[in-house]
Amino acid sequence: MYRVFYITPVRKDLKALSEKVRELVDNYFSVLAENPFVGKFLAGEFKRFLSYSFIYSGTEYRIIYQILKKKLVILVIMVGSRENIYKRLR
Protein backbone atom coordinates (compact mmCIF):
# COMPACT_ATOMS: atom_id res chain seq x y z
CA MET A 1 0.00 0.00 0.00
CA TYR A 2 1.20 3.50 -0.85
CA ARG A 3 1.25 6.46 1.55
CA VAL A 4 -0.32 9.74 0.46
CA PHE A 5 1.48 13.03 1.06
CA TYR A 6 0.76 16.44 -0.37
CA ILE A 7 2.81 19.53 -0.99
CA THR A 8 2.12 22.59 1.17
CA PRO A 9 -0.05 24.52 -1.36
CA VAL A 10 -2.56 21.65 -1.33
CA ARG A 11 -3.62 22.76 2.17
CA LYS A 12 -4.88 25.99 0.63
CA ASP A 13 -6.64 24.00 -2.12
CA LEU A 14 -8.39 21.85 0.47
CA LYS A 15 -9.49 24.84 2.58
CA ALA A 16 -11.14 26.34 -0.50
CA LEU A 17 -13.36 23.27 -0.91
CA SER A 18 -16.63 22.64 0.88
CA GLU A 19 -16.58 20.30 3.85
CA LYS A 20 -18.38 17.56 1.88
CA VAL A 21 -15.89 17.75 -1.00
CA ARG A 22 -12.99 17.61 1.48
CA GLU A 23 -14.50 14.42 2.93
CA LEU A 24 -14.72 12.95 -0.56
CA VAL A 25 -11.12 13.93 -1.29
CA ASP A 26 -9.99 12.17 1.91
CA ASN A 27 -11.85 9.05 0.78
CA TYR A 28 -10.26 9.25 -2.67
CA PHE A 29 -6.83 9.59 -1.07
CA SER A 30 -7.51 6.17 0.47
CA VAL A 31 -8.52 4.80 -2.93
CA LEU A 32 -5.29 6.11 -4.45
CA ALA A 33 -3.24 4.63 -1.61
CA GLU A 34 -4.59 1.19 -2.48
CA ASN A 35 -4.31 1.58 -6.26
CA PRO A 36 -2.50 4.71 -7.46
CA PHE A 37 -2.88 3.67 -11.10
CA VAL A 38 -6.65 4.31 -11.19
CA GLY A 39 -5.90 7.84 -12.37
CA LYS A 40 -5.06 8.77 -15.93
CA PHE A 41 -1.63 9.93 -17.00
CA LEU A 42 -1.61 13.47 -18.31
CA ALA A 43 0.00 14.40 -21.62
CA GLY A 44 2.56 16.91 -22.82
CA GLU A 45 4.35 18.99 -20.23
CA PHE A 46 2.42 17.26 -17.42
CA LYS A 47 3.14 13.67 -18.50
CA ARG A 48 4.79 12.79 -15.17
CA PHE A 49 1.51 13.47 -13.32
CA LEU A 50 -1.74 11.56 -13.06
CA SER A 51 -5.23 12.91 -12.65
CA TYR A 52 -8.02 11.29 -10.68
CA SER A 53 -11.38 12.91 -11.34
CA PHE A 54 -14.75 12.79 -9.61
CA ILE A 55 -18.01 14.69 -9.82
CA TYR A 56 -19.89 16.15 -6.90
CA SER A 57 -23.04 18.23 -7.21
CA GLY A 58 -22.52 18.81 -10.93
CA THR A 59 -18.91 20.02 -10.59
CA GLU A 60 -15.96 17.99 -11.82
CA TYR A 61 -12.96 17.87 -9.50
CA ARG A 62 -9.40 16.68 -10.04
CA ILE A 63 -6.67 15.31 -7.82
CA ILE A 64 -3.35 15.82 -9.59
CA TYR A 65 -0.60 13.58 -8.25
CA GLN A 66 2.69 11.86 -8.91
CA ILE A 67 3.66 8.30 -8.01
CA LEU A 68 7.04 7.77 -6.38
CA LYS A 69 7.28 3.99 -6.87
CA LYS A 70 10.56 3.35 -5.05
CA LYS A 71 9.28 5.08 -1.92
CA LEU A 72 5.70 3.78 -2.25
CA VAL A 73 4.46 7.37 -2.02
CA ILE A 74 1.74 9.29 -3.79
CA LEU A 75 2.60 12.98 -3.87
CA VAL A 76 -0.48 15.13 -4.37
CA ILE A 77 0.36 18.28 -6.33
CA MET A 78 -3.02 19.97 -6.60
CA VAL A 79 -6.71 19.47 -5.77
CA GLY A 80 -9.62 21.46 -7.14
CA SER A 81 -12.36 21.85 -9.67
CA ARG A 82 -11.46 21.12 -13.25
CA GLU A 83 -11.99 24.76 -14.18
CA ASN A 84 -8.54 26.38 -14.52
CA ILE A 85 -6.70 23.55 -12.74
CA TYR A 86 -4.32 23.03 -15.66
CA LYS A 87 -3.65 26.74 -15.96
CA ARG A 88 -2.82 26.80 -12.24
CA LEU A 89 -0.63 23.72 -12.66
CA ARG A 90 1.58 25.61 -15.13
Q: Please report the domains of the chain, with CATH numbers, ordered by start residue.
A: 3-89 (3.30.2310.20)
* 25-51 per-position pLDDT tens digit: 999 999 999 999 999 999 999 999 999
* 77-87 per-position pLDDT tens digit: 999 999 888 88
* CB burial readout 46-84, b (16+ within 10 A) else e: beebbbbeeeeeeeebbbbbebeeeeebbbbbbbbeeee
Express as a percent the part of the chain with pLDDT over 90: 91
Res 89: pLDDT: 86
pTM of the model: 0.93
